[in-house]
Amino acid sequence: MQTDVVVIGAGAAGLMCAFTAAARGRRVLLIDHANKAGKKILMSGGGRCNFTNLYTEPANFLSGNPHFCKSALARYTQWDFIELVSRHGVPYHEKKLGQLFCDNKASDILAMLLDECEQAGVDLRLETAVQTIDKADGGYQLLTDAGPVTCQSLVIATGGLSIPTLGASGFGYQVARQFGHTVLPTRAGLVPFTITEPQLKSMCEALSGTSVEDCLVSCNGQTFRENILFTHRGLSGPAILQVSSYWEPGDAIEINLLPHLNLSEWLDEQCRERPNTELKTLLGELFTRKMAGLLAEHWFVSKPLKQYSANELIEIAEQLGCWRLVPAGTEGYRTAEVTLGGVDTKEVSSKTMESQKSPGLYFVGEVLDVTGHLGGFNFQWAWASGYAAAQYA
């Protein structure tokens, strides 16, 4: 079989790239080894797909080269995707912080992308693996489950390593290396932390399912203000997932559990106004009673406020405002939303996504060393990079 463009990976970036290139009049074959296209889209955003973010900016992305994402994000913006969603009549809403979700189901987004593929005439082949890729005259020759295929342009859209049960594989990195690319070390991002220190672990287990609204979580100079969630294995929730992308093994994280209060002033005030109130009772007004009880048990000796010295009150304020802990690790690719690292952007054109090592070869989406914050940014990168490559492939 001969075609103009082969896209490997029918996820977010691959679908966008395939129908955009086909709409330009290119013959496009879209291949995926899974039995369904866009499995991650279906799972995303708790089943409602946080498909973009109103406030998308290059600063929302991590990459060895922070400038790389700028061109593609500027040429296919969140407004372009919102226009597509609106044109298909997919109902959506802003949940918070510019995050746009489907009103109904994530499958609305997948159905929209598949509809675009069908209208543009994309040839989609599922359950099709690629055995070998070789350079051919003016293009590439692939040996696939569906037989040999030659093409002028080959787009790698196979994503990262997170959630192997959804079809993730290291295939894209393997292809990159085959054609002389550097693949930067990969690690799980947007992922819960595990905690093994016995006392803290037992507190997390006891509080599993409890979330604390509005915390400030910091790591390596990055701070996020959002909820945190205790889990059986450690800590999760949006603020924790965000800092996990900046965390390296051995690093400490700092959590301010009450950023809206000036804690030492507030404790002094409480001490003056109600000196006989126990610390546990006071904390119970700020957190759940169970959490207050556990904090009082693990961190402080609970007694009436008037019995604490000024220094002890300062220590309590510091503990609540700057809880410092060293996670044992992360839950890894099993639950991570994204993969950090990947194909080094220094060897890829930021305008076209084309390889600088092998003409006609393109990389789009998460396989590249570009990772978004939590909040719809990763899909926006998939749409923007897929669109950019489709203009040239």
| Residues contributing to the site for ligand FAD (CB under 6 A) | 8-14, 31-34, 39-40, 43-45, 49-50, 129-130, 157-159, 162-163, 167, 169, 171, 337-338, 365-367, 376-379, 382
Q: Please state, as a whole number, how many other Cβ atoms lie within 10 Å of the Cβ of residue 91.
A: 10
Give CA separation, 375 vs 180, 219, 365, 371, in Å: 33, 19, 16, 12
Q: 34 or 195, CB closer to ligand FAD?
A: 34
Q: 109 or 216, CB closer to ligand FAD?
A: 109
Q: 73 or 163, CB closer to ligand FAD?
A: 163
Give the shortest CB-210-to-ligand FAD separation in angstroms: 22
Give the shortest CB-176-to-ligand FAD separation in angstroms: 13
- Half-sphere exposure (CA, 13 Å, Cβ side) for 222? 19
Task: Please give the Cα distance from 173 to 294 (Å, whole number).
Answer: 46
Angle in degrees, CA 227, 228, 232, rounded to 5:
150
DSSP state of 192: P
Q: 234 or 365, CB closer to ligand FAD?
A: 365
Give the shortest CB-338-to-ligand FAD separation in angstroms: 5
CB-CB contact of 234 with 194 (8 Å): yes
Q: 192 or 321, CB closer to ligand FAD?
A: 192
Give the shortest CB-58-to-ligand FAD separation in angstroms: 15
Give the shortest CB-287-to-ligand FAD separation in angstroms: 28
Q: Rounded to the nearest 5°, which phi and psi values hold at 170? A: -90, 15
- In DSSP terms, 133 is beta-bridged to 142
Residues whose CB falls within 8 Å of the CB of residue 242, separated by 6 or more in sequence, listed in order: 190, 217, 222, 224, 226, 373, 374
Give the shortest CB-172-to-ligand FAD separation in angstroms: 7
**Residue with CB nearest ligand FAD?**
11
Q: 267 or 353, CB closer to ligand FAD?
A: 353
